[in-house]
Structure 1
């Protein structure tokens, strides 16, 4: 199975290293090859065509991927091959599965015919150990049916990969042993996979398929990580603590704001009350000044007070008081001022004067 980095490089190479010749343009089949480092198939034609025997690029007649590269929206995509057939790297047309011992293309286990007991031999770990119990090693179709201590066939392929430290060589080693065994490169024998913590030299030796740089088998990187109960408790406490802490902080903040607004309203009320008291004091001062005038205030100006000298602002306010005009007529009728009586007299119109 190719590492994720190599799979990415292979997919990228399919786009970047594809030829540029379009449909109907000239090509040369002798240029067909596997790219160095990625081992991606390359020809002179673009990603939607293949180089035919007549030296021209034609549209591909099949595909091996569910979602192939290079096709625009709305373009015709060739069909997948039916059961019992495969689509080669050239993608010219579907072909019949190859029997054991036939020539096959690199890493194309799906080109080989499955053994009768493929259900027992096929890889169920999704590690790419074989395809339905068949495997392509050294460009030959084999069955992955070798058991413990049997002679086996091994294939080592060096891929160019890239990491944080730059470019490096990643060797992928494959064999035709049954699942749970690996083909030892030195003895060419099928050996049992090693347990966690055992010494190893390659990923294929470990049951976890993870040989650490320290030379021991590590945990399976594809398995989900499990944490202790204490971690869940700490996370739960942190979540609820954060929620209640936020609510408490908001409560204290809003209470401080409410206290501030309440203080502003109290200050406003005190200012308005002091202003009202000042107005009452000014009225008392004005009344005292008027009463201190000659005639003891019994002039026409005294009509602003009641008959008994009580100021109008101290007179009781009735809920259903008479209209304002009626009150004025009342005061004017009671006033003994001749000026006011003269003002109330209406002139008699004499039409003979005009």
Structure 2
């Protein structure tokens, strides 16, 4: 029994230390190793020995304060902390946060799903959309332009993110990205060619197939965040109803007022007639 208790204790200590290493709790000046840098299998976030405020230096094997940030409000910093600067135009801050770097040209390497690490094309205005960074996109950690047109060969990058659902079970979410011009086209996985995106009401299997990028119960529908579109005839009917209601109210008040005046007139006439008798 004693040996079993010791084994459980060692397992618990090992598990705790592993979780601490995964979480990255080492602060500035602490020892680290870049060989343990990896992507979290569920969130695909870069994990190192260092905390969220530091990065692991490959030169001296210690955790150093981050010298740049990619987000306006980076994770892990408090209201009193001094935030590292954002990178200027034409550069980017890597996942490590160890300093700004020049954007990568098409064909160069980029970190996973970091489209902003790729440089813009000369004519990026022609195919820029909300699904890329000024026309550039990072697929399979390679920078490319999202400018493939109808019938052109394309590249697909499937990424699975896993989170804990309401029932406590792991809930996977698959994000499909490609280099076709969006939202006009999408990349078909069977042929690896760009095809015309499907309109609202068309049958679909993936969100990527629809122009609105939202496939629900096998049909393309508008996404939940779509603003309500009011047709011109609805404005006309609404205005007519409001005007009609105002006119009806005015007429009703006028009739009620006249009835009150008539009733009062009859009462006064009856009173004076009674006095004359």
TM-score by length of 1: 0.57
Query: What is the CA distance between 1:191 and its match in structure 2?
Result: 0.9
Q: Where in structure 2 are there 5+ consecutive unaligned residues?
A: 1-20, 246-277
Residue 203 (structure 1) aligned with residue 207 (structure 2) = yes
1:149 aligned onto 2:151? yes
1:156-167 to structure 2, matched below 5 A, reads: 156-164=158-166, 166-167=169-170
Match for 1:63 among 58, 62, 69? Answer: 69
Structure 2 residue 223 is matched with structure 1 residue 217: no
Offset at residue 38 of structure 1 (A): 0.8
CA distances 1:297-340 after superposition (whole Å, capped 9, x unpaired): xxxxxxxxxxxxxxxxxxxxxxxxxxxxxxxxxxxxxxxxxxxx
The secondary structure found in structure 1 opposite 2:116 is: helix
Q: Distance in 2 between matches of 1:231 and 1:222?
A: 24
In the alignment, the residues of structure 2 paired with residue 44 and residue 62 of structure 1 have an alpha-carbon distance, to the nearest angstrom, of 18
The one-character-per-residue Cα deviations of 1:210-233 (angstroms, maximum 9, x if unpaired) are 111x21111232212358789998
CA deviation string 1:234-264 (max 9, x = no partner):
xxx9xxxxxxxxxxxxxxxxxxxxxxxxxxx
Report the Cα distance in structure 1 between the residues aligned to 2:190 and 2:164, rounded to whole angstroms.
28
Query: Is 1:23 the equivalent of 2:28?
Result: yes
Aligned residue pairs total 215
* Higher deviation after alignment, 192-201 or 157-166: 157-166
Runs of 4 or more consecutive aligned structure 1 residues displaced over 4 Å after TM superposition: 226-233
Q: Say which of 100, 105, 108 aligns to 2:106.
A: 100
Residues 29-59 of structure 1 show CA distances to partners (whole Å, capped at 9, x for unaligned) of 1111110111011111111110001110000
Stretches of structure 1 that go unaligned for 5 or more consecutive residues are 1-15, 238-354
Q: Is the 8 A contact 2:22 2:49 kept in 1?
A: no
Determine which of 162, 170, 173 is the counterpart of 1:170: 173
CA contact (8 A) 2:108 2:142 kept: yes
Q: Paired residue for 1:38?
A: 43
Aligned to 2:6: none
Give the aligned CA root-mean-square deviation in angstroms.
2.3
Q: Report what 2:125 is aligned to.
A: 119
In structure 1, distance between residues paired with 2:23 and 2:117:
23
Deviation at 1:162, TM superposition (A): 4.0
| Distance in 1 (alpha carbons) for counterparts of 2:113 and 2:180 | 16
Report what 2:185 is aligned to.
181
Q: 1:186 to 1:162 in 2, by over 3 A?
A: farther
The equivalent residue for 1:301 is none
Q: Kindly report which structure 2 residues correspond to 1:294-305, keeping only aligned pairs within 5 A, or say none.
A: none
Scaled by the length of structure 2, the TM-score of the pair is 0.72
Tell me whether 1:84 sits opposite 2:87 in the alignment: no
Distance 2:23 2:83 in 1: 17
Distance 1:96 1:32 in 2: 22
Query: What is the correspondence of 1:47-62 to structure 2 with a 5 Å cutoff?
Result: 47-53=52-58, 54-62=60-68
Give the match's secondary structure for 1:30.
Answer: helix
Secondary structure of 1:119's match? helix
